[in-house]
Amino acid sequence: MPDDRQQSAEHASTISAAPMVPIDPSVNTWTRFITTFEPSEYTTWIDESVSWKTTCYIGDWSPLLKLRVRGPEAKAFFEYLSTNHWPDFRVHQAKHAIFCREDGKIVGEGVIMMLGHEDLIFTSVPGVTWALYQFYHGARKFNATIEVVSDEWYLFQVQGPKSVEIMEEVTGSPVTDLKFMNAKELAIDGSKFLCLRQGVSGERGFELWGPAREGRKVYSAIVESGAKFGIRQLGGRAKPVNHVEGAFPTPGLDFLPAVHGNDPELRSYHEFLQAGNLVHVSFLHLGANGNYSTDPPAHHRTPYDLGWGWLVNFEHDFIGKDALKAIADDPPNALVTLEWNSEDVIDVYTSLFRADTLEYMELPRNAGGSVTGSRVCVNDAVVGCAVSRCYSYWFKKMISLCIIEKEHAVLGTEVLVLWGKENEPQKLIRAIVKPAPYKEDQRKKSLKS
């Protein structure tokens, strides 16, 4: 039997640095992103976290899983899984798709792009594994083929006020004609890719989809060309800050995919993942921390809980339709941002110098890998769950997303957030209900300004 050192070495050999990004020898801290490691910081997390408001960043999302479905019923397959449908879906358009189980709880979500009339690509993590399972073992069959193409594509983000100038400079082609969630083919030194207008940063920006073998070349060219515009390379430490500022709920950070349970379908799904060696990306291992609940199903959410009710359309058949229809007229919860009281937050850090030390608040936020939820209270009653507690250097505030009972989602409502683990020192922190997104949404504004 191998000793612990051998087992550790074998495990480490299965995880590598992000293959699409050139190694920076000055980097000495790393953050895990799915099955690869990426630099934690290139400059500093503060410098990188302001880049998408002032200049631009380039970031690597290539490790996300990617699924390609082709055939006459490729679109119908995704519509069956998704809460929305797309009668006017056009080539080189993209859509946000949300997949639910029959109880209306989200099992995965991601972006679908139409590469051809019968050719779609979908990127996610839990959404990809769920789509694979439904294709092979679901209640309906579709005239299409399915293929995991994760390693065949790079996926970069170029986001921020200077993204237009950078992309036009490096490609020699205009991008101001692109409408939101539409793509067109561009090239850098002969390397072609699809440039999708998108904005996970909450700013105007682009996602670049291209062949993996050309990823490093394209990435390096953008970094070099963007230097005069102040481009930053985005490390793993600052990456999720924009998820909170821009209110982009994320599986494994703000909610858990609804894959925890022991009903027949989930048992079959778990067996499917194990047989296909997909357990390492299945989110089955993710749990929950914090004083709200450590029970994973407590962090299963509906689209309405996460501000995605507008992406639910009942004019087609989809998994979870009946459950969502039952709550559509009066959803119990809403998504808001909480702005935490700065004096109370400062006291948490001050407690590091007292005997009654409170739980430390990592900056800018905790690493991924589990949902950390804090109870949100009004008049001693728990009315919500604060997730993704995050320090925004740009706004000089500690903020979080919050799934809260709808009656308490009124802007300006004062609530209390319980900070600290059970059976350890705890503190009630004052907070105010703010809009989600907290930062003004710039994604759809004109690219010509």
Residues belonging to the binding site for substrate are: 207
As beta bridge partners, residue 403 has: 335, 385
Question: Is the separation of the CB atoms in 167 and 98 below 8 Å?
Answer: no
End-to-end CA distance of the chain: 65
Residue whose token pair is 């690869």:
36
Known binding residues: 207
Q: In what order do the strands lie in the sheet with 65-70?
A: 94-100, 106-116, 119-124, 65-70, 145-148
Integer CA distances (angstroms), 99 to 93, 259, 420, in order: 19, 12, 33
Question: Is the separation of the CB atoms in 230 and 51 below 8 Å?
Answer: yes
Instruction: In whole angstroms, give the CA distance from residue 92 to residue 87.
Output: 15
Pairing assessment for the beta strands 94-100 and 65-70 based on DSSP bridges:
unpaired
| Burial of 108 from C-beta contacts in 10 A (0-12 / 13-18 / 19+) | buried
Q: What Rg do the C-alpha atoms of the chain give, in angstroms?
A: 22
